[in-house]
């Protein structure tokens, strides 16, 4: 019973910001909108690829580091 009293006290405190009856209607509207969203939300689809394996893991080699740094330098020089 004290849990319900605690919740009601919180609701009563929030209603003073909205103003009596208007606050109660606003709270009811928010609750109705939340319930409507919960009931009518779309069903999630299965991902096309496994989320834990979306791309191959590339092995890091010294040659690859040099190639990538050259590509980055080329891109930067084009921008400037």
Q: How many domains does the chain have?
A: 1
pLDDT at 32: 93
pLDDT at 73: 78
Q: Is the pLDDT of residue 72 over 60?
A: yes
- 77 domain-assigned: no
Domain boundaries, position 8: 2-40
Per-residue pLDDT, averaged over 6-27, amounts to: 72
Tokens of 3: 């849990």
pTM value is 0.37
- 36 domain-assigned: yes
Contact 68, 75 (CB under 8 A): no
- 71 domain-assigned: no
Residue 76 to residue 80: CA distance in whole angstroms: 6
Q: Is the pLDDT of residue 71 over 70?
A: yes
- 28 domain-assigned: yes
Q: Is the pLDDT of residue 8 over 80?
A: no
């Amino acid at each position: 019973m004290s849990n319900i009293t605690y919740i009601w006290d919180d609701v009563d405190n929030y209603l003073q910001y909205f103003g009596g009856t208007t606050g109660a209607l606003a709270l009811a509207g928010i609750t109705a909108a939340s319930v409507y969203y919960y009931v009518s939300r779309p069903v999630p689809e299965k991902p096309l690829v496994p989320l834990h394996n979306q791309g191959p893991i590339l092995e890091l080699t010294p040659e690859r580091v040099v190639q990538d740094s050259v590509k980055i330098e080329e891109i930067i020089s084009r921008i400037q």
